[in-house]
Each structure stands twice: as C-alpha cells, then as structure tokens.
Amino acid sequence: MTVSAKKLINRANPQLANESAAPTLPSATLKAFLGAFGRLGYDTTTLLAATGVAASQLEDPDARVPCPAMPTLICEAMKVRPLKNAGARVAAETPIGTFQLLDYLIVTCDTVAEGMRQLARFLHIAEAPFHLEIHDEQDPIWLIYPDIHDKFMAEFEVSLPIFHLRRETDSRLTAEYASFAHTPDDLPEMERLLGCSVSANASWTGLALSRSAWDLPLRRRDPALQGLLQRNADQISARMPKRDDVVGDLRRMLTSRIAQGETEIEALARLLATSVRSLQRRLSAAGTTYQELLDSTRREVADKYLADRGLSISEVGYLLGYSEPAAFIRAFKRWHDMTPQEFRRRQGAIRA
C-alpha cells in the first residue's frame, strides 16, 4: 500500500459544507488546479491572490473555500495568458493521486471498465457538480457527462480519464473519439493531445471507448486495496448530504417520454410531486431552464437514434415526437448547423 493511500484512509471524515451557508468546495480541489497552472508556467501567487484565498488555507486538507474561487482562478489565468484548449492542457498536468481517494479507487481496479464504473459511482465524493453516465450496451461504449455546460470543465473531465488510463494501461488505451458540445479552440491540437478523433459541436460531452479498450487490464490492480478503498468511499458517501438531482431526474423522464410527445412541464411537475413554479426555481438554481433541458435531451436522443442506421431520418423524427420530417430537420439544423443526413455521414467517418 502506498503512503498516500494510507494517509487518505486514515483521514476518512471530511468536513461537509453547511447547506445553509454560502456554497464552498474543498481547498484541495482549488490547490489541484492551481498546481496544474503552475506546471504550465503561470505565477501561482498571482493567480491565488485573485481568488482571495490565503495560501495557508490550501495547506489544510480539511479546509473549504468559496465556490467562486475556482472560476476566478481559471478566468485570471486566461486573462494573464490565454491558453487554447485550457481544460485539456490542465488535465495533462494533473497527476494520478491529485484527487486522492477517487484516483486510487480507479487505478486499483482490475480493468478500465471497473475503473470507470467506480468513477461514475463515486464522482460525487469529490463534490463534482455533475455526474457520469455509462452506456455500455453498444460498441463503442459511451461515457457521457450530461450536465457539464462549462467549456473548461468539459475539456478537463473528458481529457483526464484518457490521460490517466493511457498511463495505467502502459499506453495501450486509445479512445475511439471524444465528443464536445462546444468547438475546442484548436481542434487539431485537441486531437493530438487526446490521441483520437474529436467530434465538435456534438449533442453530448464525453468519450467513446471500444469494447477492447473497455476490457484492458490496469497495471496497478490490487483487489485487497480496492476493497478497502471502496469501504472508505462508501462511508464518506453515506455521510454526504443528498443532492437535488432535478436535472438528472427530468432528463431520464424526458428520454422515456419524448417518443410519446409527453413533454409538458405541467405533467412532469406532477410526476415529481411539485408545482411548475417550484420546478422552475429548482432548475434555475441548477443553472438551466426547462426548455433548455428539453432541447438538449431531444438533441442527445436524436444522435443516439441516428447512430442506428436501421432507422430512417423520418422514423427518427417521429420517435422524437415530430409529426413532420421537415420540423425535425429544421430543429436538427438549429442544433448542429447541418442536416441529420450530413451528421450521420460525419459520425460514420469518425468511427471508420
């Protein structure tokens, strides 16, 4: 067992944020990103000063800092020296062990598949404001972050598993492709960094792994340590306050109801045993609106249906609740600035 692993096991009782207070995040998270910027040549003293956080706070593993400190850090870095594909570049400078328990939970698994399932299961113990969905019923397997809307964090979260798993499989792992809802600053450089094709302006953010990559063994697999770490993670998870996952709940409900055209907010509010006004307030607190969520869910479901070449374009439109193919095509062009036929051809070229 490594020294770092022993230390994190001995410290299994993190302070949790007071829900009635201003939102905070662990100081260790801010320290991790500050360290990565430092390795990229930024003056960390200047960046930290902009956040208003004292250096002494970063040395206390149980300290917490205001949530706005993180976007302030990133904005200050980009103001001092703009960096293309900043999220991916920071991920490349983030070593395994930076996020302690979560990182060790992944790398001590037997395979890539088990490691990513542990990431999806325990991402919340790092207090990430998003979650990971695994769609392993297909090949390639899709690993989707449905509620990341920030460009920097999208690039960071997609890139970090690729970099870490590449190391932990002795460079055997290559992603099939990465998918971003935005267009990276420098697409060729992003593809070079990630070592795979990149689908830009897509309906979902995440990465795709082939079945063979999914089954690759990890070089530091350790069943005994894995079991100990998982028990520790379970204990931490049990003590954490339950988060209001209204976005995830609504997305799942919409995915199953879109084909029937049952997408009225009033009906979904009733199913959630709340009022329309309360539901709208909860969505606003989560940084979105009902219409944005409906639109993004339709967009994501459309891409999944188009991946099935047994379905015609008009059938995909019908499954999304459009009575006329023309209405679906208009909506799709608004989402992707291309027709469904063009999108299907491009996706086929990426996977070829």
Q: How far is CA 149 from CA 66, 74, 113, 202, in A?
A: 20, 15, 25, 12
Q: Mind listing the pLDDT tens digit for each residue in 15-74?
A: 333 333 457 889 999 999 999 999 999 999 999 999 999 999 999 988 999 988 999 999
Which CATH number does 246-351 carry? 1.10.10.60
Peptide bond before residue 188 is cis, with ω within 30 degrees of 0: no
d(CA 173, CA 189): 19
Enumerate residues 6+ apart whose C-beta is below 8 A from 41.
Answer: 81
Output the pTM of the full model: 0.72
Q: Mind listing the pLDDT tens digit for each residue in 239-261?
A: 887 666 788 888 888 887 887 77
Of all residues in the chain, what percent carry a pLDDT higher than 70? 91
**SS3 for 2-31, per residue?**
CHHHHHHHHCCCCCCCCCCCCCEEEHHHHH
Contacts of residues 54-61 at CB distance under 8 Å and 24 or more positions apart, as own/partner, are 57/27, 58/27, 58/28, 58/30, 58/31, 58/34, 60/27, 61/11, 61/27, 61/28
- Which amino acid would we find at residue 20? S
How many CB atoms neighbour CB 104 within 10 A? 27
Higher pLDDT, 10 or 41: 41
How many CB atoms neighbour CB 224 within 10 A? 9
d(CA 303, CA 12): 41
What's the number of CA atoms in the CB half-sphere (13 Å) around residue 255? 13
Residue 351 reports pLDDT greater than 60: no
pLDDT at 263: 86
Q: Mind listing the pLDDT tens digit for each residue in 215-226?
A: 999 999 999 999
Q: Categorize the per-residue pLDDT at 188 as very low, low, confident or very high, splitting at 50, 70 and 90.
A: very high
**SS3 for 51-110, per residue?**
HCCCHHHHCCCCCEEECCHHHHHHHHHHHHCCCCCHHHHHHHCCCCCCCCHHHHHHHCCC
Picking from 21-25, 79-83, 88-92, 329-333, which range would have the lowest pLDDT averaged per residue? 21-25
- Which amino acid would we find at residue 122? F
Q: Mind listing the pLDDT tens digit for each residue in 108-164?
A: 999 999 999 999 999 989 988 888 999 888 899 999 998 788 899 999 999 999 999
Helix/strand/coil for 322: coil
Picking from 7-21, 29-43, 327-341, which range would have the lowest pLDDT averaged per residue? 7-21
Helix/strand/coil for 43: coil
Q: Mind listing the pLDDT tens digit for each residue in 246-304?
A: 888 888 888 878 877 778 899 888 877 788 988 888 888 777 889 888 888 888 888 88
Picking from 4-18, 52-66, 184-198, 309-323, which range would have the lowest pLDDT averaged per residue? 4-18
User: What are the residue ranges spanned by the domains of the chain?
Assistant: 3-239, 246-351
How many CB atoms neighbour CB 106 within 10 A? 26
